[in-house]
Amino acid sequence: MKIRKMYAFTLGLLIVAFLFPSPSSASAPSTEMKLFKNPVVGDGADPWVVKHTDGYYYYMQTTGNNLTIRKSKTLTGLDDAEKKVVWTPDSGAENSGNIWAPELHFLDGRWYIYFAAGDGNMGKQRMYVLESEGSDPLGKYSYPKGTKLGKISDPSDKWAIDGTVFEYKNKRYFVWSGWEGDENVSQQIYIAPMKNPWTISGERVELSRPELPWEKNGTPLINEGPEILKNKQGDVFIVYSASGSWTDDYCLGMLKLTGKDPLKAGDWAKNPEPVFKSSPADNVYGPGHNSIVKSPDGKEDWIVYHAAKFKGAGWNRNVRIQEFTWKADGTPNFGTPLPADTMLRAPSGEDGGKLVPALPGKVYSYEAENGVVNHATIVNNTSASGGSKVGMIDYNDSFVEFKVDAAPGDYTLKVRYSNGMGETSTHVLALNGKSLGEAAYPSYGWDTWRDAEQEVHLNAGENKIKLSKGTLFAEIDRIDLVPKKTKVFQYEAELGYLKNAKVVNEYDAANHQAVGLMSAHNSSVRFPISVEKSGTYEMNIRYKQPKGINAVQVLHVNGKKSLILYKGEGSDKWKETAVKVKLKKGKNDISFSKSRGAVDLDYFTLNQTK
């Protein structure tokens, strides 16, 4: 029997146009916008990313034992990017252990890597720096001349981590997190002037210490991970992490330079509230230790950060990205961190797609914990859909079996799995007792969920899909069955083009997002889409109208107007209403705009009837 492999479905670079072709894909090249899902790095913490003039992103994160750089053309492709270990410490050296939070900076024509390290004794963490021998960020590095193992310190030489560099009015400064004395009581944010990229030239100045309630969750008290952010007006901010990184309350705070001298503590003002924090309603905990970067075309600002994989995960974290905007007063608006499985538009410049993607309108989903579980363990976990996963599928007789009641036909089977083995693991896949080979699961980290795919044909009546112990180990969240010949396609409202409306987080909405605030004057959301055939389609709209007042929207289909009445029943539950529309083959333009009242839109589906 020829073994058939399941191919991993890379959510860090999810291109919906390829996975779920639009009805028009057979007749014209796809120009659908590119989508992705977080996390962009399945396992990691303390992310740092810099966009260089060569058009590449260079990424680093905590490894603990070396310095590794990844090189990627895109932000969404970091997990599978080229990577290289550029430095490994000498065994037993004072900087050979606990290598944390490296940052890569291009200064004076050379690359410099700043990192915290010690000899394994947690009380001896200090900052160190390496200098590139040339202009290639993946080239050789060595200690700057005149330094002892690259150590960089102010005269106090106290415990120090998370160092970063910034320039302001032609002067250079070093900012880091450290102890005031020699006891692990509290971490403060410090600043000092720099003589050159490897030398601090003055006394340190404390800029921030944990003092507000949201900064004081967990002991010791912590302010750490300072990062520099500048707006178009030239204002300088330090975005830092507060509270214990092992807690669900880890968050981002912010300082603003309100005076003229960065070395004067009084010239900085602390924001009274966190600027980015956990969102239990969206199942996001502990977002922190960020870096800031532009999209490939330079038009958008994105925050790169780590977050806990699930509630109570502690230091089990992955790396995510999210676009942010700016307020009228020039301060950043980071918004609310989104759930890890939310489909988002890729950063501007990663591709030129403009059409709103057509997603499968009918998917059959089966949770692993509801299947037949033999010699394996059901584990409660907030990162898994349904709140549980099946792990410990570790024995020769371990399996999860799903009884499937989908209609007969051809399907794409998607297995949602996690694998933290560091190499590909497998499960044996069987359909109705017949082996289909092995399902292959590339490693992206435990509790970071990816999809693997296999084409299957279901018979009439009940079908059974079984996943059994294969090589190494993996965990299962659920399986999805997507009909190959689906006639119903779904269009998410938040992926449309908005005017005077806003994307809002709604965990019970499809894709955990919806379009709200469509009560504003001239508010609208537009969907350029493409269909394979002309004809009459049934449009089914999922909406919410909680205020108990009837609302009316204007539906525009290729310039033709009609009205949609939403009956105001005063409920927070999603409802559906259906209308008939006529579409032409190829590109169509559909939009919803306000007429009277306010409506939240989740999505609409299209099903050709004639």
Residues designated catalytic: 46, 224
Q: What whole-number distance in Å separates Cα of residue 459 and Cα of residue 462?
A: 8
DSSP structural state of residue 41: B
Q: What whole-number distance in Å separates Cα of residue 414 and Cα of residue 451?
A: 6
Q: What residues form DSSP beta bridges with 467?
A: 400, 429
CA angle 75, 102, 55 (to 5 degrees): 35
Q: What whole-number distance in Å separates Cα of residue 408 and Cα of residue 426?
A: 27
- Is 302 strand, coil or helix? strand
Q: Got the DSSP string for 500-541?
A: S-EEEE-TTSGGGEEEE-TTSTT-EEEEEEEESS-EEEEEEE
- Is 203 strand, coil or helix? coil
No. of helices (H) and no. of strands (E), the chain: 1, 47
Cβ atoms 492, 400 nearer than 8 A: no
Cβ atoms 187, 160 nearer than 8 A: no
Q: Shortest CA distance to 287 belongs to which of 318, 331, 256?
A: 318
Q: Shortest CA distance to 420 belongs to which of 392, 388, 394, 442?
A: 442
Give how far Cα 501 sits from Cα of 27, 344, 528, Å. 33, 17, 17
Dig out the tokens for 362 from the structure: 């009918």
Cβ atoms 16, 37 nearer than 8 A: no
Q: What whole-number distance in Å separates Cα of residue 384 and Cα of residue 418?
A: 10
Cβ atoms 452, 6 nearer than 8 A: yes
Q: What is the largest CA-CA distance in the chain?
A: 79
Cβ atoms 119, 142 nearer than 8 A: no
Phi and psi dihedrals of 339, rounded to 5? -55, 150
Phi and psi dihedrals of 409, rounded to 5? 145, -170
DSSP structural state of residue 53: T
